[in-house]
Amino acid sequence: MLRPLTAQERDWVENTLESMSLRERIGQTMQGHAGRAPFRGIEGAELTAYLQRYPVGSFFVGGEIIQKAEGRAGDYRSWIEGLQRASRCPLLFSGDLEFGAGSAVRSLTAFPPLLALGAVDDEALAYEYGRFTALEGRAAGFTWALAPGVDLLLNWLNPVITTRCLGDDAARAARLSAAVMRGMQEHGLAACAKHFPGDGVDYRDQHIVTTVNDLSEQEWFATYGLVAGRLIDQGVLSYMTGHIALPWVEETSSGGKPVPATVSLKITTELLRERLGFEGVVLSDALDMGGFLSWGDYRKRMIDCFNSGTDVLLWPGLRYFEVMEAAIAEGEVTEERLTASVRRVLEMKARLGMHRIDAEGRDPEAILLEDDKLPPELDREARGLSRQLAERCVTLVRNRSGQLPLDAEATRRVLVIMLNKVTAGRTFERMDIFVRLLRERGIQVDILDEFEPLDTLRKWEQEGSRWDAAFAPYFMPLHGMMNSSRPVGEAAKAIWAMQQAETIKPIGISFATPYLLQDMPFLDTLVNAYSLHEDTVEAAVQAIFGEIPFQGISPVATELPRVFIKGKAGGLS
Amino acid sequence: MLRPLTAQERDWVENTLESMSLRERIGQTMQGHAGRAPFRGIEGAELTAYLQRYPVGSFFVGGEIIQKAEGRAGDYRSWIEGLQRASRCPLLFSGDLEFGAGSAVRSLTAFPPLLALGAVDDEALAYEYGRFTALEGRAAGFTWALAPGVDLLLNWLNPVITTRCLGDDAARAARLSAAVMRGMQEHGLAACAKHFPGDGVDYRDQHIVTTVNDLSEQEWFATYGLVAGRLIDQGVLSYMTGHIALPWVEETSSGGKPVPATVSLKITTELLRERLGFEGVVLSDALDMGGFLSWGDYRKRMIDCFNSGTDVLLWPGLRYFEVMEAAIAEGEVTEERLTASVRRVLEMKARLGMHRIDAEGRDPEAILLEDDKLPPELDREARGLSRQLAERCVTLVRNRSGQLPLDAEATRRVLVIMLNKVTAGRTFERMDIFVRLLRERGIQVDILDEFEPLDTLRKWEQEGSRWDAAFAPYFMPLHGMMNSSRPVGEAAKAIWAMQQAETIKPIGISFATPYLLQDMPFLDTLVNAYSLHEDTVEAAVQAIFGEIPFQGISPVATELPRVFIKGKAGGLS
């Protein structure tokens, strides 16, 4: 539950609310994308005029999780201070700080992804994960993390959650995500649990189409509901709704469409707010996602989203102002509903100390950066945490023939079969870290990354090539909009090609999905490393050579029962 | 059941068997890949010497179904006659004649794929499908079709069967595949039902890994068993075993691996031959496939494959001769077992009239080609059948808003959103036929085939572009080794991108998987055309403009219940 506001905070909220025009109140209920706003090269009076015309309440900044981290912390901070100076009401700045502030800002610390944190399964470290995200994030100007993920990886085919959640076990996910959230919020960063009512059951991606969480009421409360209850109980300040339907609550619209939470009064207001008692800010997921676009025309989408109980709409575009003005004038949206949302947003701003932002736009609660990082001692601690998580997450999933650890002395020549390729035209990069680390050990590394002809490996063997070990590292980015987390295209051919060998037993290493055995059941040896996070790749190599132990505990069941999908026809149910 | 041999045929079999050396008998139990044998530029005495050293019993010729048809019928026929002259025992020539002889030989007639035949659901036309495959095939020198497919598309995720089978309904598949088989065998072409015990239940591809048919005994007999029973009852001459395990028969090997039919005595001998009473030739699927390679080393693979009850091994390579000679010498393979298989192969040769091949290698039962085709009247009939099947297969899956048929007069400008792209580097080709047919009608065709930025379509609309119709055609080749039949990569982005539009309602057209609604549930209009077979694309366009009716009956359930896969963990079962 949320702590009561202090008298000073309450006064600031009510005075601010009182002073706002209708348009300013509408602005509090949307979040802009700073990278898409025309901010380049405008400042001073021009910027002030822009923010008077479009008095947006919060902005998303930094790299997106689906893209790459970019920029330097100091630049973000100065830019954000300039925007605060130009805005009449203090702004919130959000970012995809899912795996540390380094997820969004290149000069800050990137941690292994949430699934790796799930493999470490240490509540104290989860708290530190949140704490350093907050210290670094706030130092760079962020006040709102669009994190932590509270989804559950229940369907191994899900193409979007993959390593962005804490696994398939609700109790573990609740424990760890609550710790991350507390670590953030106790250090000045609002957390946003995402997504409600829960991603990870569908085989599709809500970026592409509306997805469905098909659990029954009982199943939902034992899983997603359990996690949500914990987060709410411990005071999470915001919750992100997804373009995800929940049929036990609402089957379909009158037009036969699934009803995503982002437009569902039953899910967002009746379930999340009333039944679960969530008092914080409801933020929608991005409104340019495919899962939202097919709901109706722009006006219908916006009004339905707001009226479902959403407090802040993510990236609705500036047309939102006129649509909402008209809707209020026509009674489609009530002023009471608007005021309730604005009050919640202002309350969150007060809790974060935004009323103490000074006239220069400076945040007195943010640590001062040194060389675009935290001060040395804290920075060392953040980097140490990254390293510690890396060492503890690497998971030995299978070691049937006792192949691991390898003897470092006896391993002089290895083969690497690249599973990070989709087609001749598209290779998912960054596997070079792994190869470089092998070469730095003085190992000769032969690389197989062309799979036509398929029997290249057998030909190499026939010519006399022999290797002391063979690695099959797999990577697919989070998310490269593949609509699949499985090896496809050239990666699938690589799986075929490696079985042509007679003299090797490939060691699989997944730097992505934890479910590689679903497509490579023949592997005797598999290591899950969850990401190409640099410390983690180093730790994986060290564990493979026995220099550190494998300590990770898989956060999902990796040896699934055969999960076959039987069709309706042919007498099958 | 197979008809008894005539006295003349029986004499030829026994005399031939009697006259054969051990090596010649071993050769009868393998099938070579003519395209990979060193046949280019050798003839006469040199060719005879090669076939004496490697007295292979049959060869695969022509394009593979996973590749493209190639070559001219007359060239195949002369080449095959040359090989017959050089071989002491008459050879069989097989091909992937799955969708007409045009599947393998470019100058012959290509029919729509089996799934389209399923949508036509006409037993008489199925018989003609087989008959013309046989007449054309035998005229080009083929005596053995690796067809028809008798698999069932029970799992919509299956990446390899897709349109290569007759659907998800066992009764329909049995009726139509038996008709195709009779059409073939009554016109001189041995059929080979494939695959045993049945593909289409797994989400994986047996080219890549061993797959599993996970049905229960009862489910299996109601589906795959029913089809197999019909084919065997009606006298199919051969059956292809797949690298597919059947756990109700054999759970796993002592080493914990699934046991594919190709090495399983229980599946191939006890179930197929003894319980189902199949008396014909058992041909393995290709032995260079990933689903077979992981079974063991080369020697173990070959011996286990033969001893499971396989009569003919597909593409084992020439090392097979020495491995079998040693295995017989060491008692691992018995001469009785070898003789039984050779007798079955020779019986099939006799049934096909191979004892009447003349000294010049000529086949008196083959129709003479004219200009690399059948004589004009028959050729017209074959092309007419192709056209008729095309017109009758096109299926209107959804037409919720009555958008189809389109008014040809009023449709002057259309948008085509290309769903045939995986990455910037890989576009599945041939969609140009569709675009060309639209342009030939005088329609202005705008094409969207770049999906970054995602809002291009909305920008075009804002600039004033309007279309009378929008098409979203989908294609993925059969099979492009994608390990998926779903839209992935750029195609998935295209699905997102099209929902940005405010002024169009895209008409989906699948030229591949019949399950496009699983990834594009928001479509109000969907046409399934099953392939880019040229006549079919023409028929689809005609049906869309109301010039011919939509006549196809979907051979699979296209509106599947939501098929979600719940994980083991988190209290779910």
Q: Of B481, B484, B522, which is closest to A484 when you measure between CB atoms?
A: B484
| Overall residue count recorded for chain A in this entry | 573
Residue A94 CA from chain centroid, whole number: 13
| Separation between Cα atoms, residue B487 and residue B536, nearest integer Å | 21
Give chain A positions within 8 Å (CB) of B162: none
3-class secondary-structure state, position A468: coil
Q: For A13-37, what is the mean pLDDT? A: 96
Q: Residue ranges of the domains in chain B?
A: 7-376, 394-544
Q: What is the DSSP letter of B243?
A: S
| Model ipTM value | 0.95
Q: Mean pLDDT throughout A129-136? A: 98
Using only the alpha carbons of chain A, give its radius of gyration.
25
Q: Dihedral through CA A370, CA A374, CA A377, CA A382, nearest 10?
A: -150
pLDDT for A558 equals: 86
Q: How confident is the model at residue B422 (pLDDT cuts 50, 70, 90)?
A: confident
Residues A300-351 have pLDDT tens digits of 999 999 999 999 999 999 999 999 999 999 999 999 999 999 999 999 999 9
CATH code at B7-376: 3.20.20.300
Q: How far is B314 from chain A (nearest CA, A)?
A: 16
- How far is A373 from A76, CA to CA, in rounded Å? 12
Are B482 and A489 within 8 A, CB to CB?
A: yes
Structure tokens at A99: 């795996």
| Mean pLDDT score, A390-409 | 97
Q: Give the model's pLDDT for residue B570.
A: 34
Residues B90-104 as b or e (16 or more Cβ within 10 Å = b): bbbbbbbbbbbbbbb
Contact B562 A212 (CB under 8 A): yes
User: Across chain B, what does the average pLDDT equal?
Assistant: 94
Name the residue type at position B343: R
pLDDT in tens, A444-456: 999 999 999 999 9
* CA nearest neighbour of A272 among A216, A197, A342, A213: A197
Contacts of B496 in chain A (CB under 8 A): 207-208, 289-290, 293, 481
The pair of structure tokens assigned to B4 is 């008894």
pLDDT of residue B282: 98
Task: Determine whether the interchain pair A565/B156 forms a contact, defined as Cβ–Cβ distance below 8 Å.
Answer: yes
Confidence of residue B312 (pLDDT cuts 50, 70, 90): very high
Taking CA atoms, what residue in B is nearest to A520?
B209
CB A507 within 8 A of CB A467: no
Q: From the candidates B211, B315, B566, which should be mutated to test the interface with A, based on the most A CB atoms within 10 A?
A: B566
> B488 and A493 in contact by Cβ < 8 A?
no
Of A155, A426, A486, the CB nearest to B565: A155
- Our CA-based measurement puts residue A160 at a distance from the nearest CA of chain B, in whole angstroms, of 13
* CATH node for B394-544: 3.40.50.1700
Per CB-CB distance under 8 Å, the chain A contacts of B520 are: 209
What lies within 8 Å, CB to CB, of B300 at 6+ separation is none
**Band of pLDDT at residue B561, cut at 50, 70 and 90:** low
Q: How far apart are the C-alpha atoms of B547 and B71, rounded to whole Å?
A: 35
Q: Where are the beta strands (DSSP E) in B161-254?
A: 192-196, 211-212, 238-241, 244-245
Distance (Å) from the alpha carbon of A95 to chain B's nearest alpha carbon: 21
Taking alpha carbons only, the member of B148, B145, B146, B201 closest to residue B173 is: B148
3-class SS shares of chain B: helix, strand, coil, % to 5: 40, 15, 50
User: For residue range A164-173, what is the model confidence (pLDDT) as tens digits?
Assistant: 999 999 999 9
| A-B Cβ pairs (cutoff 8 Å, strict) | 227
**How far from the centroid of its chain's Cα atoms is residue A383's Cα?**
20
Residues of A in contact with B506 (CB under 8 A): none
CA dist A234 → A182, A230, A279, B555 (Å)? 8, 6, 12, 53
Return the residue in B318, B421, B481 with the most chain A beta carbons within 10 A, the one to mutate for interface testing: B481
Phi-psi region of B251 (alpha: psi -120 to 50; beta: other; left: phi over 0): alpha
Mean pLDDT in residue range A429-433: 84
Q: Are B539 and B120 in contact (CB under 8 A)?
A: no
Chain B positions touching A216 (Cβ under 8 A) are none
Distances (CA, A) of B382 to B111, B389, B488, B552: 9, 11, 36, 20
pLDDT class of A177 with cuts at 50, 70, 90:
very high
What value does the mean pLDDT take over residues B429-449? 94
Beta carbons of B45 and B13 less than 8 angstroms apart: no
Q: Would the pLDDT of B490 be above 80?
A: yes
Whether the Cβ atoms of residue A105 and residue A63 lie closer than 8 Å to each other: yes
Identify any residues that bridge with B396 across adjacent strands, giving them in sequence order. B527
**Cα of B12 to nearest chain A Cα, Å:** 40
